[in-house]
Structure 1
Amino acid sequence: MFFASDNTGPVHPRVMQALVQANEGHVPSYGSDDLTRAVETRIREVFEAPEAAVYLVATGTTANALALACLSRPWDTVFCTPEAHVQVDECNAPEFYTGGAKLTLVGKADRMTPPELDAALVHHGSGDVHIAQSGPVTLTQVTENGRLYTLDELRALCDLARRHGSPVHLDGARFANAVAALGCTPAEMTWKLGIDAVSFGGTKNGLMGVEAVVLFDPARAREFELRRKRGAHLFSKHRYLAAQMLAYLEDGLWLEMAAQANANGARLAEGLRGCPQVVFDYEVQANMIFATLPRGLHRRLHEAGAKYTLFGSLEGPEEDTVRARFVCDWSLRAEEIDRYLALLNA
C-alpha cells in the first residue's frame, strides 16, 4: 500500500533490460554513442519537432534549472506559481544556474491565470532599472497539486507571455500523465501552443533516473551544452541515460505506464469517495490525490502499513483532520489499492 510518491516505485522491467543490453562492450562517451543519437531522433519524432535540440540529464531539478538558464539573464525574473517545484523543492537551483535570476510568484496556488500573469509581466516589463526585468514563464503540467491546465488555458498563458516578449518553459515531471489524461499529443501540449522549452520527465514514470530537455529553438543548443558541462551534468557514460529513455519511448511504453498510473489514481479516488470522512481538496485529474481525513483514521491506516504523505502529525486529537497526499505509480496492483480501501472502510 505505497502511495507516498511515484518516485518510490520500481523501474519498469523493459527499462532494466535495456540497461543490461547497453552494458555490453565499449562505446563512445559523453553522448557520442549511437543510443544517444537514436533517442534524440525519437524524441524529435514524438514531439513532431525535427529541428528541436534534445538533451538528457539525470534529474528534474537539473532539467528545470538548465532550461530556465538558457531562457533568462541574470538580471531577469522567472515567473512561477507559489507551489511550483522550482520555488518550493529545488533549493534555489534555478537562481544558482541562471547566475542570479530571481523568482516572482504569480497567483496564490498551483495554477496561474492570465490576469495574474499579465499584472506581473507589466510590472517587470516597465524597464525600470531598479527592478528585475521580465524573464521566462514556467508552468507545471501536471501541477504540484495534481491538477491540469487545459490546452486552451496553456495557450492563453503562452499568448500573453509572447506579447510581453517572455519565453515559456514547461515543467513536465509528470508530462506523460498529463498527455494521457488530456488525450492530446506532446506537440499539441507544447510548441503548438507556444511553449519554448520542456522538461520531459521519466523518473516518476518508471525510469531509473533520466529526464529530457527539449528546446524547440535549436539556436539555444550551444548554450545548453556549455551550461550542462559547466554545471557538472554531462555524463561520461551517457549511454545509460539514453538506453532508459529509448526503452521508455519504444512502443508507447511511456504512455502505457502513465495511463496505468492515472487509472490507479482514479481507482483509489473512487474508493475514497465512498468514505464520508474523506474530503477532497481538488478534483482528481491524474495520478495524485489531495484530501483530508481524521487523524485517528490516518493513524489506523499507517499502523496497518499504508504509506502516503501527511501534512501534519499523527500525534494529537483523533477527531482533528490532517491533509494528505496520495500518489499512484504505474506498478501499483489493484489488490494493494483495494486492501487500503478495505482498511479505510473497516
Structure 2
Amino acid sequence: MARPQHVPVLLDRVVALLAPALGRDGAVLVDCTLGLGGHTEAVLERVPTARVIGVDRDPAALELAGARLAPYGDRFTGVHAVYDELADVLEDQGLASVDAVLFDLGVSSMQLDVRERGFAYAEDAPLDMRMDGTTGPTAADVLNTYSAAELTRVLRDYGEEKFARKIAGAVVRERETQPFTTSGRLVELLYAEIPAPARRTGGHPAKRTFQALRMEVNDELAVLRRAMPAAIGAIGVGGRVVVESYHSLEDRLVKQAFTAVTRSEVPLDLPFVPEGSEPALRLVTRGAEKADATETAQNPRAASVRLRAVERVRPPSPGAPS
C-alpha cells in the first residue's frame, strides 16, 4: 500500500485562529478530522500549553497519526469516532467543555493518495470510498442498488453535476449487464455520457460524480449538520470553533450555524442592547477566508477551501441557542 502524503491547507492561518483559545495550561483542542495529523502536529509544536484529542472515523488514519504524534506523549489522544459523536467523545474523556474545535472537512490525503481506498479516479481501484472501511455501504453498493431517481439526486445535489440524469440512466442500464465494482469502468461510462464540450472545462469529468458518491457513502452533510451545534455547545467562554469547508453545501451549513449563534435577537430599532441579550458568540473571520494564489499553486486542494471561525464570548442564556 502506498504511503499517503499530506499537505494541510491554510495551516498557519488555522493555527493562528486556534492559538488564542489555547493559551492556558492544559487547554484542549478537539481535532474532529484528524487525518494524518498535520494540523494537530502544528498545534502541539507551536502551542505548548495545549493538548489535542484527535477524532477520526478512519482506523488507518488514527494508526498513522498516532505514530507521527507519539513524541508528544499524553498531550495527544486519538479516538475512533465520527465527529457528530463529539458529545460522547467528551463524556468519555471526562470533559464538560473544551477550548477549541477544528474541522477540516471533505476527503483527506489519507483517502485520496491510497489507491486501494477507491476515492481517486486517476487509476482503476475498487469502488469503496468509505472513510471507515470497516462499516457501511460502499460506492459500488450505491451504484448497484439506487434507483435512477436516487442516483440523479445524489449526483445533482452533492456533485452539482449538470448531466446527473443522463449519467444515472446509463449506470442503471449498464449494471443490468454487469454490476459496478471498480472505478475504471465508471470513469469510462462518464467519458461516454458527458458531452465532449463539457469534458473540456471544469476539470476531470469524473470529479463531480466521485465527490457526490463519497458524500453519499459517508453521509457527510447529515453528519456535519449534527456536528456544528455539538461543537458550538462544547466550547467554553473564550473557546473557538474553526472550520475548513471544500464544498458549497458544507460551507452553507457552517455559515448558517455560525450566523444563528452570532446574530442579535434584539429589534434593529432598539437604541441599545439590553444586558444579557447579546449573542453568546462572535464571528472571528470576516466572511469565508480563502487560500491565496501561492498556496493554491503549491497545493491544488486548497483552491476550494472556505475558512470560518467563531468564538464564545459569554455563556449561553437559559433557553437560548448554544
Q: Which structure exhibits the higher relative contact order, with contacts defined as CA atoms closer than 8 Å and separated by 6 or more residues?
A: 1
TM bucket normalised to smaller: under 0.3
